[in-house]
Chains A and B, each alone.
Chain A
Amino acid sequence: MPSFDNILNAFILLSNFVLLPALTYGAQLALGALAVTLVYSILRFANFSQANNMAFGTAMAILLTGFFQSQGWTISGFPTALLVIPLAIVITIICLLLTDRWVYRYYRINNAKSITVVMVSIGVMFIMGGLVQLIMGPEQQIFADGARFIWTAREFKTFSGLSEGLALKTSQLTTILLALLAVGLVFYFLQKTKVGKAMRAFSDNEDLALLSGINPDKVVFTTWLLVATLTTIAGVLFGLDKGFSPLQYHLLLLPVFAAVIVGGIGSPLGAIVGAFVISFSEMLLTYAYKKFFIYLLPTSLEPDSLLQLIGTEYKYAVSFVILIIVLLIKPTGIFKGKVL
C-alpha cells in the first residue's frame, strides 16, 4: 500500500501534466466548438473554415500586441494580448461579416443545399489560411509576454513540502477564467435576451420564426458577431498557451469538429462537453504513466517501460478515432443533436 504522500504526489503529478493542461486545452476547444455549433444551428452549415478563422483572429491579436508593446501599453504580469482582444474581435467581426456578404449570403438567398455551403466553406478555409500565412509567415511565433507562471512547480513544492509540484501558468488561468466568462455570457445571451431567443427560435424553426416577424438578416448578423467573438478568444487563448503557427491552427479543425459531433451537433452544451471529452482523451492517452505508477506501486513492481499508450505525435488520431466511434455507435452524440 503506497503512503498517503505518494498517493498525493501521484495525483499532483497527473494534475500538473494531464488534468490542468487538458482543462485548458478543453476550454480553448470548447469556445471554437461553440462557434461551429452556432453557425451550424443558425446558418445551417458545418463551417470548415472555423480553425482558420481562429488563426485570423489570433494573427490580428499578434499584430496589435506588437503595436501595443512598441507604445508601452502593457499590463504588468499578464499578456498584452488580453488588452488587444477587444480590438482583434472587432477586426474579426468585420472579416467574417465581409465573408458572409461576399460568399455565404449568395448561397443563403438561393437556398443552396447545406453540402454546397460546406464545400464553399472549405474554399473560404483555404483562402483564409493563405491570407494568414501571407501576413504572418509559416513559422511558429510566441507572443505571450508578462509573467509565465502564477506560481511555479518549485514554489508549489516549497509551499506544500511534496516532491511533485503543480505549476499554474498565466495562460492556463487566463484561459479558464476567460472561457468561463465567454461561455457564461453566450448562454445568458441565448437564454435571456430577446435577440438571443429570436436566434434560438430561428434555429428551431426558421419558417415559424419568419412568421413571427423575426428579421433573418439581424439573426445572421448577430450570429457572426457571437461567432467572431468566440473564435478570436479561442484562437488567442490557444496561441498564448502553445504559440502560434498557421499549420498548427489549421490542424485544430479536427479536434474542434470532433468535439461538436461527440457532444451532439447543434447542441451548445454538447459542444462544451464534447470539447472536454476530446481534450481529456487526447491528454490521458498520450501521457507516459511511468512516474505516476512508481509512486503508486511497490518497488518490486516498478515499471520498466514509459507506459505511454500512444505517442504524442498521434494525438490528432485520438480525435479522429473518437469521431469514428461516435459516428458508428451514436451518431447523434451525447446530447442528442442532429445527424450530419
Chain B
Amino acid sequence: MTYLTGKNLFAAYGAVPILRGCSVGVNRGELAVIVGPNGAGKSSVMKALLGLLPSKGEVLLNGKDISALSTQQRISLGLAFVPQNNNVFPTMSVVENLEIGAFLRHDDYQTTLDEVYTLFPILFEKRRQLAGQLSGGQRQQVAFGRAMMTQPTVLLLDEPTAGVSPIVIDEIFANILALKEANKAVLMVEQNAQQALSIADKGFVLVAGKNAHTGTGKALLSDDKVRRDFLGG
C-alpha cells in the first residue's frame, strides 16, 4: 500500500472510456512517473485522483478512502496539482498567485513564501508583475510555487516540461528532485519519458487506460519491450 493510491480506476468522457481499470501509487519521498502514448489516459488518472473527473474505483490517501470527497476537500488533505496549461492566474500578480496557493491556510505563510522565493529567485524579482506577462518557464515556476504554498504532502504534476526550453527542463527536473528530497510524494505525467524514467523511482506505462508495464524507472528503461514500444528504440 502506497501513501497515495489509485486502484482500479474507471472513467469515461461521455460514452468514450478513457480509464479502464488502471492503478497507480506513490510513497512519500518518492518520484513516480506515468508514461504512455497519446490518449492513454495519463492526465485523466491525475484528474481522477483529484476528483476533477468523475471515476469509479478507490482513491486512498494514507490508507483512508478519499474517493467520495470533493476536489476542495482533497486539496485540504494535502494534495496539490500543477496543471500543464492555464496553470497561473494571468491577471493577478506573481505574489497574489502565490497567496492564492495559501488560501486554505490560517497560519503565517511567510516562511513558505520565502522558501518559494529561495527556490525560484526570479519570482521574487518579478513578484509585482502580472503572471500572464511571464515566459512559459517562469509561469511554470509560479505554478510550482503556488502548489508549494499549500504545503502539500503529495504533488501531482501534469507534463511539467511541456513547451519549455531544454535548459529549463533540466532545471525543472532538479526542482522535482528537490521536492522529493523534502519528503513529498511526487507523481508526474511526462512526455519526455526517457529522461523522466531515468530519475524516477517508479514508472507506470499506460496503454488505452490500463497498466501495460510497471516497475522501477531503471527496470523499465532496460526492458526491451518497453523501449521498443514506447521509448522509440
A residues with CB within 8 A of B = 194, 197-198, 200-201, 204-205, 207-215
Contact = CB atoms under 8 A, between A and B. Distances in A.
B89 A211 contact: no
Contacts of B159: none
Contacts of B193: none
Contact of B75 (A198, A201, A205, A211): A211
The 9 residue pairs across chains A and B that have the minimum distance between CB atoms? A213-B104, A204-B89, A213-B75, A201-B100, A212-B100, A201-B89, A211-B81, A212-B103, A213-B103
Contacts of B76: 213
Nearest to A267: B91
Nearest to B156: A211
Contact of B72 (A200, A205, A208, A215): A215
Contacts, number: 61
B150 interface: yes
Nearest to A211: B81
How many chain B residues sit at the interface, stated as a range, is 20 to 34
B87 interface: yes
Contacts of A201: 89, 92, 96, 100
Contacts of B52: 207, 210-211
Contacts of A204: 89-92
Contacts of A208: 83, 86-89, 146
Nearest to A191: B96
B71 interface: yes
B83 A211 contact: yes
A194 B101 CA distance: 12
B99 interface: yes
Contacts of B49: none
Interface string B178-218: 00000000000000000000000000000000000000000
17 contacts: A197-B96, A197-B100, A198-B100, A200-B96, A201-B96, A204-B92, A205-B88, A208-B86, A208-B88, A210-B52, A210-B71, A211-B52, A212-B146, A213-B75, A213-B76, A214-B100, A214-B103
Interface string B64-88: 0000000110011000110100111
Given A208-B86, A210-B52, A212-B101, 10 more contacts: A201-B92, A204-B91, A205-B90, A207-B86, A208-B146, A211-B52, A212-B100, A212-B103, A212-B146, A213-B103
Contacts of A209: 89, 100
B86 A205 contact: yes
B18 interface: no
* Best-buried of B83, B99, B100 by chain A (most CB within 10 Å): B100
A207 B83 contact: yes
